[in-house]
Structure 1
Amino acid sequence: MPDFFDAGRPHNGLTYEEYREKWRAQKDRSKADLDPEERKTLHYLNYNWERQTHVHEQYTPSDDLKDALTGIDEPQLWMVLTEPWCGDSAFLLPVIAEAAALRENITLRILLRDDNLDVMDQYLTDGSRSIPKLVAFSEAGDERFTWGPRPNDARTLFASLQEEYDDKMNAIEELIAHYEDGGWTTADSELADALRASRPAPSRR
């Protein structure tokens, strides 16, 4: 069991509803007293709000994912490390949240990455604090599976874009376009695969 789990930090994380309310309050604040960097962040918060709203409106969990979820026969806590300014998360966190909502024995909690860097540093991706990162725990604190920060096709695309462009922002813009064209939907099948892979192997007698 990780020390942070034993300390109850995931348990005390934000519910998805609390996370969205916090996000809403941040994005709706006045620009009047903000410095240029804060205005830039506000810009991302508003664009990402529209993106996550679109996913919620368009997404219905697949039968494949629903089937995979039925294999969870124990209470689980799904911890997601993320931030509302993250473009990837705007498209992918709604898929995680919709999946978690289908099972009463799944508790979803959100930890803001920048407030929990010591936790984030235990789940790096190629040495990077990339988000969103989902970690599923049993009640005892055993890790059942992890997923994120991007679906495989988006990860492969972004790697190739980084080689193509000197300016990282150009690569990010094309990645966002990929998501806007429906690239976020592959998170559904990958989450189903992760759930199946986490099932205990049948005992042999």
Structure 2
Amino acid sequence: MTTDTELKKEIAYNIRAALPKATSYEDYRKLVLALAESGDTTGDKTVSYINYTLLNNRRMKRWDKTLKITDEQMKGIKAFSGKVIWLVLTESWCGDAAHTIPAMNKIAELNPGIDLKILQRDEHPKLMDHFLTNGARSIPKLIMLDANSLEVKGEWGPRPAVAGKMVAHYKKEHGKLTAEFREELQNWYNKDKGQETFNELITLLALENVGNSANL
């Protein structure tokens, strides 16, 4: 049986092994754009994944231009005084990622203490398996790391809590997600305009900020 100490060492090893392969948000956007234009995708080369990648490129392009931070949210972002890496596991075909990663980037752009880095999930299964959601490799998964020690300080994902409850309730009632429900979920994201994602990630930063202050 793996001890807590051994598990922490294993996680640390997998993080250090994966980090050099992580890309910036700018490079990730270039990748998704190139995939969309060439009719390709990350992960399995299925027709549905290719179509999702094409759709997600349009979604991310829209959110990059239209996401708005409120004055109150800005205060929370600017109040963060630590230095962290937001390491995100995702794939170009992931619908939740197309709505939430642009929000992550918007926050990271506003505070130099946040370094957003992106990895493809299927290229890093060992790391992904340390951050499962109800036993599944659900994405996107944001892992917040201390920028110096690379210690795991928190995690977020694969979607805002409200959307997560919608998914859980529908699965309980129907067994699986249908095309109709996926459209309903996308409509929720469109109406929310990133606000739930912003608020939850700012809360994550606030918890880390309290920890940093306690150690002063």
- TM-score bracket, normalised by the shorter chain, equals 0.7 to 0.9
Q: Which residue of 2 aligns with 1:109?
A: 117
Please say if 1:157 is aligned against 2:166.
Answer: yes
Q: Do the aligned residues in 1 keep the contact of 2:15 with 2:127 (CA within 8 Å)?
A: no
Please say if 1:68 is aligned against 2:76.
Answer: yes
Given the alignment, which residue of 13, 17, 39 partners 1:3? 13
- Map 1:1-205 onto structure 2 (within 5 A): 2-7=12-17, 9-30=18-39, 38-138=46-146, 139-169=148-178, 170-182=180-192, 184-201=194-211, 202-203=213-214
Shift of 1:26: 1.0
Structure 1 residues 146, 183: CA separation in 2 closer, same or farther (over 3 Å shift)? same
Structure 1 residues 163, 171: CA separation in 2 closer, same or farther (over 3 Å shift)? farther
Shift of 1:65: 3.0
Structure 1 residues 167, 135: CA separation in 2 closer, same or farther (over 3 Å shift)? closer
Shift of 1:108: 1.1
Shift of 1:63: 2.7
Q: Which residue of 2 aligns with 1:34?
A: none
Q: Which amino acid aligns with 1:43?
A: N
| SS of residue paired to 1:78 | strand
Q: Which amino acid aligns with 2:166?
A: L
Q: Distance in 2 between matches of 1:176 and 1:203?
A: 40
Shift of 1:112: 0.5
Which structure has the highest helix share of the two?
A: 2
Q: Distance in 2 between matches of 1:190 and 1:30?
A: 34
What is the aligned residue count? Answer: 198
Shift of 1:120: 0.7
Q: What TM-score do the two structures reach when normalised by structure 2?
A: 0.82
Shift of 1:203: 4.4
Structure 1 residues 98, 78: CA separation in 2 closer, same or farther (over 3 Å shift)? same
Q: Which amino acid aligns with 1:114?
A: D
Structure 1 residues 189, 74: CA separation in 2 closer, same or farther (over 3 Å shift)? closer
Runs of 4+ residues over 4 Å off in structure 1: 201-204
Shift of 1:5: 2.8
Structure 1 residues 187, 133: CA separation in 2 closer, same or farther (over 3 Å shift)? same
Shift of 1:24: 1.1
| SS of residue paired to 1:192 | helix
Gaps of 5+ in 2: 1-8
